[in-house]
């Protein structure tokens, strides 16, 4: 990571995803949001804002206060569970050339947010106009859902924004979370803008803003830690926390799946073949509960483990043709191999 001081109106080039760390509802946080929009010439852009803990009107009023007459050419506010009145004085003011309020149900789940944003982005990208995305906020999402589900949502959104060149920024209140939680989200973004009361905005950019940190990435390891060969490491670091790796390997069936994938010579495998191999592995492990049937294994892989591994970038699961492509990663595989030895001997 490269660090340096900066202002929020000086975003780094080639960054499609930005994490804004500032106390919720503070002047810095509000000015920061407007600063990103203004820098992107918002009047010539189409903008989507996902609100979680604020009402849609609160975000629209913020834009009005800080953007003057430079309103987005088209604005879409996705209310993802604020549970606040959806009526909008800002919308009624006529300040926005085109405004859509999309209110999701109270039972909203992360996949609903991802699907809704994808639908709007899919329509807007046809207009060949710069697209902006604001998510306010990760703190609100983490109050409702488990951390890994929010990470999966962020990964999916950032990946799509990178693919269609959307400039996106997500808000998080660092004071509302543990340092460990904040550190888990930093690597998911090209750039982190953090407001420090005594220093102002500090900018931290990834060394390669075009690569999204997932389990596909392998960090160049330090040498000199393996006996007999100072150039070869015993383990290879990966860009995720220790707790998340443990959570990944916590499910016995997911471990069996990963044990098999790391040993395959070919990256692509039909789902039916994968189900057979995992079913056979589970029946052969004495300490494991024997699976009820092959069909039961297939259902759990298709609807639980494969989608989760796809979200993390470990593999690609194509439901259309029921195929899986595994992305070999020495970093992750060193951990999997060690766990396999502990469990199976």
Tell me the C-alpha distance between 51 and 103, whole Å. Answer: 10
DSSP-derived letter for residue 49 is E
Tell me the C-alpha distance between 292 and 295, whole Å. Answer: 8
Does the pLDDT at position 247 exceed 50?
A: yes
Q: Supply the pLDDT for residue 206.
A: 64
What percent of the chain has a predicted confidence (pLDDT) above 70? Answer: 79
Using 50, 70 and 90 to split pLDDT, how confident is the model at 120?
very high
Q: Supply the pLDDT for residue 240.
A: 60
Mean pLDDT, the chain, integer: 79
Query: Beta 99-103 vs 268-270: how paired, if at all?
Result: unpaired
DSSP per-residue codes, 18-30: EEEE--TT-HHHH
Q: Supply the pLDDT for residue 135.
A: 95
Does the pLDDT at position 331 exceed 70?
A: yes
Sequence-distant (6+) residues with CB within 8 A of 130 are 40, 41, 44, 45, 46, 167
Q: Supply the pLDDT for residue 136.
A: 92
Q: What's the whole-number mean pLDDT along residues 330-345?
A: 81
Sequence-distant (6+) residues with CB within 8 A of 308 are 152, 254
Tell me the C-alpha distance between 149 and 114, whole Å. Answer: 11
DSSP per-residue codes, 115-138: HHHHHHHHHHGGG---EEEEEE-H
Residue with tokens 């040498």: 223
pTM to 2 decimals?
0.59
Q: Supply the pLDDT for residue 22.
A: 95
Per-residue model confidence as pLDDT tens digits over 21-53: 999 989 889 888 877 777 777 778 888 999 997
Per-residue model confidence as pLDDT tens digits over 79-97: 987 655 555 565 555 667 7
Cβ contact 78:113 at 8 Å: yes
């Amino acid at each position: 990571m490269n660090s340096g001081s900066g202002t929020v109106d000086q975003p780094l080039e080639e960054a499609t995803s930005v994490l804004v760390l500032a106390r919720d509802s503070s002047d810095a946080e509000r000015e920061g949001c407007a600063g990103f929009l203004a820098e992107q010439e918002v009047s010539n852009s189409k903008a989507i804002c996902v609100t979680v803990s604020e009402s849609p009107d609160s975000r629209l009023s913020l834009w009005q206060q800080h953007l003057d007459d430079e309103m987005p050419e088209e604005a879409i506010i996705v209310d993802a569970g604020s549970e606040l009145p959806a009526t909008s004085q800002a919308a009624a003011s006529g300040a926005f050339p085109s405004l859509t309020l999309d209110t999701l149900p109270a039972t909203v789940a992360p996949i609903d947010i991802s699907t809704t944003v994808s639908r709007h982005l899919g329509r807007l990208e046809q207009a060949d106009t710069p697209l902006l995305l604001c998510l306010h906020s990760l703190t609100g999402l983490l109050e409702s859902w488990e951390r890994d589900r929010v990470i999966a949502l962020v990964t999916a959104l950032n990946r799509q924004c990178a693919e269609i060149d959307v400039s996106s920024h997500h808000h998080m209140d660092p004071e509302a979370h543990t340092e460990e939680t904040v550190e888990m989200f930093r690597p998911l973004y090209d750039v982190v803008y953090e407001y420090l009361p005594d220093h102002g905005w500090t900018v931290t950019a990834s060394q390669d803003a075009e690569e999204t940190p997932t389990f596909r990435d392998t960090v160049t390891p330090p040498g000199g830690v393996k006996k007999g060969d100072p150039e070869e490491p015993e383990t290879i670091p990966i860009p995720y926390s220790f707790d998340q790796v443990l959570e990944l390997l916590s499910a016995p069936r997911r471990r069996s799946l990963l044990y098999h994938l790391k040993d395959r010579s070919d990256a692509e495998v039909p789902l039916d073949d994968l189900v057979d191999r995992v079913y056979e592995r589970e029946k052969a492990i004495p300490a494991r509960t024997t699976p009820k049937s092959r069909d039961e294994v297939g259902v759990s892989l298709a609807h639980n483990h494969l989608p989760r591994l796809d979200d993390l970038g470990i593999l690609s699961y194509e439901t259309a043709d029921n195929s899986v492509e595994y992305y070999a990663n020495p970093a992750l595989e060193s951990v999997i191999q060690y766990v396999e030895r502990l469990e199976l001997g």
